[in-house]
Chain A
Amino acid sequence: QSVLTQPPSASGTPGQRVTISCSGSSSNIGRKTVNWYQQLPGTAPKLLMFTNDQRPSGVPDRFSGSKSGTSASLAISGLQSEDEADYYCAAWDDSLNGMVFGGGTKLTVL
């Protein structure tokens, strides 16, 4: 059972906009920044979004992040086939004194 809660799957057609949610609590998302990781099939995770809504260099602006209270979301607009991957939200948890992840959302591009 993951500390952060994500839907296990999401899907969309090319060009569509898809949103992935991440729910936490006051000890993690409620007081810490949220980060998102993208894991393409057979590869290591890659930082996709940090500090709630900041994109590392090289990440297309089709990806955007937001946070409100104890929840966060990742939006992907203009969906492309290469976006098919697993997406994980994460944050530091002050009560657990550790990094916590969501269970991951498998994004399928139909």
Chain B
Amino acid sequence: QVQLVESGGGVVQSGGSLRLSCVVSGFTFSSYGMHWVRQAPGKGLEWVAFIWYDGSNKYYPDSVKGRFTISRDNSKNTLYLQLNSLRVEDTAVYYCARVMSDWGTASDWGQGALVTVSS
């Protein structure tokens, strides 16, 4: 069955960096675009990044553009999110999700990785 497993979360100081990974199984990873979506404690969902199936195109909201980088290694069935210049307001659970043909459709989600940024 489809599985997405995030790792790499933890506690980091403001201004620091972290890299999240998302290992997938149960589907042909190289055929699908992927999202990262985050959820701050007690808050709603916020889209963070999107990458095409082959990594050739990437999209970010203004809130993270220039600080976060999405990438993928199709040979390892792994999606990454590099988080730099972290701020306290980046504290959240970060989810990876498989994207269907419509880019607004995230069909499968991981369990999430908690990133805590301390001041």
Q: Which residues of A contact B (CB under 8 A)?
A: 2, 32-35, 37, 39, 44-47, 50-51, 56, 86, 88, 90-92, 96-104
Q: Which of B37, B44, B61, B106 has the most CB of A within 10 A?
A: B44
Q: Which residues of B contact A (CB under 8 A)?
A: 35, 37, 44-47, 50, 59-61, 95, 100, 102-112
CB-based contact A35/B45 at 8 Å: no
CB-based contact A45/B45 at 8 Å: yes
Specify which chain B residues have a CB less than 8 angstroms from the CB of A56 in the assembled complex: 107
- A32-B102, A99-B35 known; A45 and B107 CB under 8 Å? no
CB-based contact B47/A100 at 8 Å: yes
- A88-B45, A99-B50, A101-B46 known; A50 and B107 CB under 8 Å? yes
Specify which chain A residues have a CB less than 8 angstroms from the CB of B112 in the assembled complex: 44
Specify which chain B residues have a CB less than 8 angstroms from the CB of A45 in the assembled complex: 37, 45, 95, 106, 109
Residue of A nearest to B112 (CB): A44
Tell me, in angstroms, the Cα distance from A27 to B100 when the chains sit together: 19
CB-based contact A88/B109 at 8 Å: no
- Of B46, B50, B60, B105, the residue contacting A35 (CB under 8 A) is B105
